[in-house]
Amino acid sequence: MTLRWLYLLFPDLYLHNLMADAAHDAARPLALLPAGNSQHISQCNAAAHQAGVEADMPLSAALCLCPELQAVRTDPHQLHRLLQARALWAGQFSAFVSPDPPQGLWLEIASMLRLFGGWEPLQQRLQQSAGTEGPVMLSGAGATPLAARLRACCGLPPGSDQHDLQPLSLAQLQQGRLLDDEQVLTLQRLGVRTLADILRLPQSGLASRCGLSLQRDLSRLCGHQAHPLPAFEAPLTFVQRAQFIHEVEHANGLLFPLQRLLGRLSDFLQRRQLSTRLLQLTLSHRRRPDSEWQIRFAHGEYRQPELVFLCRHFLEQQRLPAPVQTLTLTVEEFVSRGEKQHTLLASPPSAAGDDHHQLLNRLGTRLQPQQLLRLSAIPDPRPEQSARLDIQQAQTSLPSQQRTDMAQRPLWLLAQPQPCPPPQQVVSGPERICSGWWDEQPVRRDYYVVLSGRRLLWVFHAPQGWFIHGLFS
């Protein structure tokens, strides 16, 4: 058997994310309580551990040892979102990722070892990438999913042989989530101490005493039975939340946790070759309804430094209606990025276009939405109705036929057509426009491009006479 499955375990996923998003002082003791009504410590940071706080300790005893200890209840929905974010990150190393709640991931690596050049280069890439994110990551590789999880939880090296797993004790098997408390108690009464002792027992007797689930898991561990795993499907929307230990009272205080969320958003967009034009921020308060902020861009953006820059200027203009407990970043509108062909020269040909988009995005965050207007084309034959100023994004491209028609028309139209004498020198025309019957503003005109002195004019003839409607440059 060969290495087929990789298991990634993030034991401090929730605790690390809580301390990072809240900019928590590492010297201040912090402990986590499990979801529900339990009052026993599930995890604590290094400062609390140095004060004598341990896992499974009652909260009352922990407070006696460390009065300044701050306890936070684990939010299972937030933990699920954090594991989803880790699954999105792990997608760059495997084509098949399966979450194992609450803090684990399975990755199929048999088909990826050749791509990365073997197990050692793949493990190095994993450690380097995980180091930039922060949470502790334990890994284990094996021939079956359960073997990989046991190796990760027990700190065993990767291996395709199951013999080195047989000396594992019942406590290690429980740590690897192969046994529960009741099964451990039953096996201890039978005199069983290791995995090898369990495998020597008759399967029928083991199933009657410990349940069919243990017999099934042992068969999957040894590879005698298939172990179907649900594949992780990337969500269609991006939702990430930052939870604060202390309430944030100023808008600038939201920038630090928002940077981490924008970094995850940038990775999410980069892997899908997408951009976004709308960020939705949801601020939850203690004694009032949630606040909704929207940050809209003129053009799609996906780069983290630029997203942070735009959000910083937006937050500088905002005032919090009340202290904030949690910050949620939601992105539901995505824009596909067009293909850009860069040359081997120092300056790519699309640099000017990128600078133009960047300038409009920055203007949009500094100004109010109603102060940044753009010219949008409207499919209306009447020249005075064919364009308008709009705060929304204008069309990025026009049909080829419409561009050809607009090339024969001036960009400068007069606010009101001015009467003029009949033209003496006609350059081109006529172009008949007979439209507008549907909104009771009908027009019936014949347009000409004429030369008057040294100026090119755009004139039309109507039943009322001749009029100048536009000027060419």
Q: How far is CA 370 from CA 376, 391, 394, in A?
A: 15, 6, 14
Q: How many CA atoms lie within 13 A of 163 on its CB side?
A: 2
Residue whose structure tokens are 């021939």: 143
Q: What is the per-residue pLDDT for 436?
A: 77
Which residue has better confidence, 160 or 126?
126
Rounded to whole angstroms, the Cα distance separating 377 from 398 reads 8
Q: What is the mean pLDDT of the chain?
A: 85
Q: What is the per-residue pLDDT for 65?
A: 93
Rounded to whole angstroms, the Cα distance separating 123 from 336 reads 33
Q: Residue 447 pLDDT more than 70?
A: yes
User: What are the backbone dihedrals phi and psi of residue 416, each rounded to the nearest 5 degrees, phi first?
Assistant: -135, 135
- Tokens at residue 99, please? 């979450």
Which residue has better confidence, 460 or 131?
460
Rounded to whole angstroms, the Cα distance separating 182 from 42 reads 20
Q: What is the per-residue pLDDT for 396?
A: 42
Sequence letter at residue 315: L
Ranges assigned E (strand) in 268-368: 274-284, 291-301, 324-331, 335-336
Q: pLDDT of 30-69, one tens digit each?
A: 999 998 889 999 999 989 999 999 999 999 999 999 999 9
Show contacts of 129-133: CB within 8 Å, 24+ apart.
129/89, 129/92, 129/93, 133/89
Q: pLDDT of 192-207, one tens digit each?
A: 999 999 999 988 888 8
For residue 224, the surrounding DSSP H or E stretch is: none
- Tokens at residue 144, please? 């079956």
Q: pLDDT of 109-126, one tens digit each?
A: 999 999 999 999 999 999
SS3 at position 424: coil
Which residue has better confidence, 229 or 134?
229
- Does the pTM surpass 0.85? The reply is no
Burial of 379 (0-12, 13-18, 19+ CB in 10 A): exposed
Q: pLDDT of 7-27, one tens digit each?
A: 999 999 999 888 876 555 667
Q: Residue 422 pLDDT more than 80?
A: yes
Q: What is the per-residue pLDDT for 133?
A: 55
Q: Residue 342 pLDDT more than 80?
A: no
Angle at 378 between CA 372 and CA 380, to 5 degrees: 150
Ranges assigned E (strand) in 138-273: 138-142, 238-248
SS3 at position 139: strand
Alpha-carbon torsion angle 55, 56, 59, 61, nearest 10: -90
For the residues 129-136, what does the mean pLDDT come to?
74
From the list 134, 63, 123, the residue with the least C-alpha distance to 94 is 123
- For the chain, the distance separating the N- and C-terminal CA atoms, rounded to the nearest angstrom, is 77
Q: What is the per-residue pLDDT for 160?
A: 80
For the residues 440-464, what does the mean pLDDT come to?
87
Q: Output the DSSP codes for 304-321.
A: HHHHHHHHHHHHHT---S
CB atoms under 10 Å from CB of 178, counted, come to 23
SS3 at position 118: coil
* CB crowding 182-200: b at 16 or more within 10 Å, else e: ebbebbeeeebebbeebee
Residue whose structure tokens are 């140095």: 50
**Inter-residue contact 32 to 14 (CB < 8 Å):** yes
**Inter-residue contact 431 to 446 (CB < 8 Å):** yes
Rounded to whole angstroms, the Cα distance separating 324 from 282 reads 10
